[in-house]
């Protein structure tokens, strides 16, 4: 079972626009925005099943990661989520330069 997804994304969207994409596609996540001294703005979200998403929106390319390590979910749910992320969410944010699934 895949326990981690990592993507490098080229995007011209602002932090707020990316936040809106996540809210639209994954409204069941608890989303937060923050600012790191070393990596700039980021967005992080966790759902009730403990799937965790982090997106460093000021890095070039933008770094997106999803962790299923602590997730209380099955392989089928992870596969469905992964397909949604890759086919719907990431394309709304920008161009995928590299993805590890």
Give the residue from 16, 6, 2 showing the smallest Cα distance to 90.
Answer: 6
Residue 43: the pLDDT is: 97
CB atoms within 10 A of CB 6: 14
Confidence of residue 2 (pLDDT cuts 50, 70, 90): low
Q: Is 65 domain-assigned?
A: yes
- The model's pTM is 0.90
Give the residue from 92, 94, 98 showing the smallest Cα distance to 23.
Answer: 92
Q: How many domains is the chain partitioned into structurally?
A: 1
Q: What is the pLDDT of residues 14-24, one digit of tens each?
A: 999 999 999 99
Q: What is the pLDDT of residues 20-61, one digit of tens each?
A: 999 999 999 999 999 988 778 999 999 988 899 999 999 999
Q: Is 45 domain-assigned?
A: yes
Residue 24 belongs to domain spanning: 11-100
Give the residue from 60, 34, 66, 20 showing the smallest Cα distance to 47.
Answer: 66
Q: Is 70 domain-assigned?
A: yes
Q: Is 60 domain-assigned?
A: yes
Q: Is 46 domain-assigned?
A: yes
Residue 97: the pLDDT is: 96
Q: Is 1 domain-assigned?
A: no
Are 61 and 9 a contacting pair, CB within 8 Å? yes
Whether residue 64 is predicted with pLDDT greater than 60 in this model: the reply is yes
Q: Is 4 domain-assigned?
A: no
């Amino acid at each position: 079972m895949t326990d981690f997804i990592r993507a490098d994304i080229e995007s011209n969207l602002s932090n707020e626009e990316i936040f809106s994409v996540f809210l639209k596609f994954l409204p069941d996540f608890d989303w937060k925005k923050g600012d790191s001294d070393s990596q700039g703005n980021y967005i992080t979200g966790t759902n009730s099943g403990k799937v965790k998403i982090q997106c460093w929106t000021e890095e070039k390319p933008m770094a997106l990661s999803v962790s299923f390590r602590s997730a209380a979910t099955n392989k089928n749910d992870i596969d469905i989520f992964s397909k949604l992320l890759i086919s719907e969410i990431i394309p709304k944010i920008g161009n995928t330069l590299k993805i590890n699934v």
